[in-house]
Amino acid sequence: MMDLFSQIEEPEREELKRLRKELEEANYKYYVLNMPTLSDREFDEKMHRLQALEAQYPDMFDPKSPTQHVGSDLAVSRQPSAVSKGFETVKHKYPMLSLANSYSREEIEDWVRKLPQGVEIVCELKYDGLSISLWYENGELVHALTRGDGTQGDDVIENIKTIPSIPRHLVGTPSTFELRGEVLLSWERFEALNKEREEQEEPLFANPRNAASGTLKLQDPKEVARRGLTVYLYYMLGEDLPGKTHYERLTTAREWGFPVSDAVKVCKNVDEVMAFIAYWDAERKNLPVATDGIVLKVNNLAQQEELGYTAKTPRWAIAYKFPAEKQLTLLKEITYQVGRTGVVTPVANLEPVQLSGTIVQRATLHNEDFIRSLDIRPGDRVWVEKGGEIIPKITGRELSAISRQLSDFSFPMTCPECGAKLVRVEGEAAWRCPNETGCPPQIKGKIEHFVSRKAMNIDGLGEETIDLLYRQGLLHNIADIYDLKAEDIAAQERFGEKSAQNILAGIEASKQVPWARVLFALGIRMVGETTAKKIARVYNTIDRLQWATAEQLCAIEDVGPQIAENIVAYFNDIRNLEILERLRQAGLQMEAGEAPEPFGHSDKLAGMSIVISGTFAQHSRDEYKAMIEAHGGKNVGSVSKKTSFILAGENMGPEKLKKAEALGVRLMSEEEFLDMINIVV
């Protein structure tokens, strides 16, 4: 009999194990890679099922289960992440827990009614961003920690300092306190960032939350500042703080100059709570930032402490998640777009439908595999969803449709623009047009990439102008740009002598663009801006790069076999070599210039990993980073046994100092460092 019961239980035990694995993977992709694979609702449903199974089988308890800890944005939790390298990990003074989620207004009503009689509830918007913890000591911002695994997080203080609304210095506040909030990217900035990425044929961010998370973990504060993060703070912690309620502390934080949302209300009963939810369910669509629900918190801080916590969540707070917006509409036809690298992307053309205040008529279908996985074809009624995402996506078809076209879906085998036979590289999902020099979208796309701001930065040559000059036979490739004449440009419709001269001035100025950006501008597949810089440091002339082998290229940081093969293939194409020779003759920078004084060049720091911490009198942190690289060293963000020394300025971070002392890492002063590389102060 026992054997029979064991056999019955076995499938549920296997389900328990599978759910743990699925949820860990989903956490990693969401928090670390910023590539969510499950919707919030799907994740929560799987989590609730896992909790039920663990309660059913207590002998399978595991402290490492996803039910026992919050998701982690720490790269070290699984494996290194490109965006998370170099940040110092700091322990939270107070654990950063997640909130229990509910998708049912009835459940929210039950939660409110179960609270002690007369308890006030603060309702506030749940902003869809990245959690942040700001530490202030003696009026100074000393740490800005991501949630991490709830007990420790990455210190991203230099990136947080790029947000203008966050005070760096305060007067008249308690000696030590912490403020928590959400780092966000507005819809406007999100759309602009994705437009840039689309032009570069880089993967688009799914939603502002992922864009904000990816931005906050960048290593370049200047790029973080350019993207324009914002923040809303929602909770204050510490000893001897003013106010006995959560609402009073929010008011105090606002008075101190912190960005606190006005969409906050103290509710005295369940009717007021439900009215707040109903109002913002509609009004949130007019906000400049993404929200995905309402957070309810017990107002009285003493009552919060009395209610306490579970292993993962506070009992005195809960989140109501807005349902994802979706509509059923007709898939009229599937068209195909060709990008600058030849990738053919299917696009769904829809019967117009309104979602989140905008009319949706088109949605990407990604690739052939995606279409087949959903089993959709023209004539189907399909579900279009926006939810917390601004990019509309098709999530499925109406299964109860009475009639469907009988023919199976067939991806085109020839390019819709030039008729060339499409190819599909093994291991890739995309079909690609190989006709790089004869396919119009590829030709124009390469020219648009070449003149873009991060590449050659040629003003006046926008998408429409390039299209016009291409149709007039004046532009066939990037080298033709340097053969343009004023009279040819001025003769075009809507152009005159002044416009022509402005374009020619931009073309002339581009001849001073440094070698690393020229390399990026060439548009070699998968060679992005950062990768181009790293390649240019190793191969400081185009002639050296041209003869590099794939094996040699793979020795460069972040250059893998596929990128190396793409570079080798680029230089093996005689057509590219002819274009490069024309660019050389035009005067473009095909080699790295000498580093500007007083930095110089040497190998004195070769093989050294150096951490910079504190403030400096002689040079900026960015200048010191440039010096380290110019003299062969490597900049790293966190202290470890591999750290050669710390370039230590005033007000060095206490955590870095403590770790350096524990590991015996040398501290080097500004003067000692400059003397080491022979730079006169």
* CATH code for the domain in which residue 534 is found: 1.10.150.20
- State the pLDDT confidence band at 55, using cuts at 50, 70 and 90: confident
User: What is the CATH number for 38?
Assistant: 1.10.287.610
pLDDT of 3 above 50: no
How far, in Å, CA of 480 to CA of 132, rounded?
Answer: 49
Tell me: do 391 and 468 sit in the same domain. no
Regarding beta strands 326-338 and 381-385, do their DSSP bridges make them parallel or antiparallel, or are they unpaired?
antiparallel
Could you write out the three-class secondary structure of 597-612? CCCCCCCCCCCCEEEE
Please tell me the predicted confidence (pLDDT) of residue 593.
Answer: 65
Per the CB < 8 A criterion, the answer to whether 530 and 488 are in contact is: no
| pLDDT for residue 270 is more than 60 | yes
To which residue do tokens 């060339």 refer? Answer: 420
Q: How many helices (H) and strands (E) does the chain have?
A: 24, 21
Answer whether residue 237 is part of any domain. Answer: yes
Task: Provide, rounded to the nearest whole percent, the portion of the chain with pLDDT above 90.
Answer: 43
The neighbour count for residue 514, using CB atoms within 10 Å, is 13
Q: Is residue 132 part of a domain?
A: yes
Q: What global pTM score does this model have?
A: 0.54
Judgement on whether residues 93 and 230 belong to the same structural domain of the protein: yes
Domain co-membership, 278 together with 413? no
**Which domain covers residue 27, as residue numbers?**
2-68
Contact 367, 383 (CB under 8 A): no
Question: Mean pLDDT, to the nearest integer, of 557-584?
Answer: 92
pLDDT at 281 over 60: yes
For residue 2, pLDDT over 60 is answered with no
Q: Is 82 helix (H, G, I), strand (E, B) or coil?
A: coil
Check whether residue 58 and residue 112 sit in a common domain.
no
**For every residue of 104-135, which 3-state class applies, written as one string?**
CHHHHHHHHHHCCCCCCEEEEEEECCEEEEEE
- Co-location of 206 and 114 in the same domain: yes
Rounded CA gap, 46 and 16, in Å?
Answer: 10
Domain containing residue 370: CATH number:
2.40.50.140
**pLDDT at position 448:** 93
Residue count of the chain, please give it. 681
Average pLDDT over residues 108-116: 92
Q: Are residues 33 and 164 in the same domain?
A: no
Domain identity same for 137 and 30: no
Q: What is the set of active-site residues?
A: 126
**Domain membership flag for residue 158:** yes
Number of domains present in the structure of the chain: 5
The CATH number for 627's domain is: 3.40.50.10190
Instruction: Name the pLDDT band for 37 (thresholds 50, 70, 90).
Output: low
Judge whether 312 and 98 are in contact, CB under 8 Å: yes
Residue 554 and residue 632 in one domain? no
In a domain, 180, yes or no: yes
CA distance 356 to 282: 9
Any domain includes 671: yes
Q: What is the mean pLDDT of residues 396-410?
A: 67
- The span from the CA of 577 to the CA of 582, in Å, is 9
Report yes or no on 306 lying in a domain.
Answer: yes
Instruction: Assess whether pLDDT exceeds 60 at residue 5.
Output: no
Q: For 423-479, write each residue's pLDDT tens digit.
A: 987 777 889 999 988 999 999 999 999 999 889 999 889 888 999 999 999 999 999
Domain boundary among 275, 291, 321: 321
Q: Looking at the domain assignment, is residue 600 inside a domain?
A: no
Two tokens at 647? 């370039």
Over range 603-614, report the average pLDDT. Answer: 87
Query: 49 or 482, which is more confident?
Result: 482
Q: What is the residue whose two structure tokens read 């046994």?
A: 641
Minimum mean pLDDT range among 79-88, 375-384, 590-599? 79-88
Asked if residue 478 and residue 543 are part of one domain, the reply reads: yes
Tokens (6 digits) for 654: 């206490």
Can you list the positions of beta strands (E) in 485-536?
A: none
Phi, psi dihedrals of residue 594, rounded to the nearest 5°: -70, 145
Same domain, 513 and 648: no
Query: Do 380 and 469 belong together in one domain?
Result: no
Decide which of 399, 427, 455 is a domain's last residue. Answer: 427
On whether residue 397 sits in a domain, the answer given is yes
Residue 452 and residue 317 in one domain: no
CATH number at residue 286: 3.30.470.30
Last residue of a domain, one of 321, 344, 374: 321
Per-residue pLDDT reduced to its tens digit, 315-335: 999 999 987 778 899 999 999
Q: pLDDT grade, residue 267 (50/70/90)?
A: very high
Q: pLDDT band at residue 8, thresholds of 50, 70 and 90?
A: very low
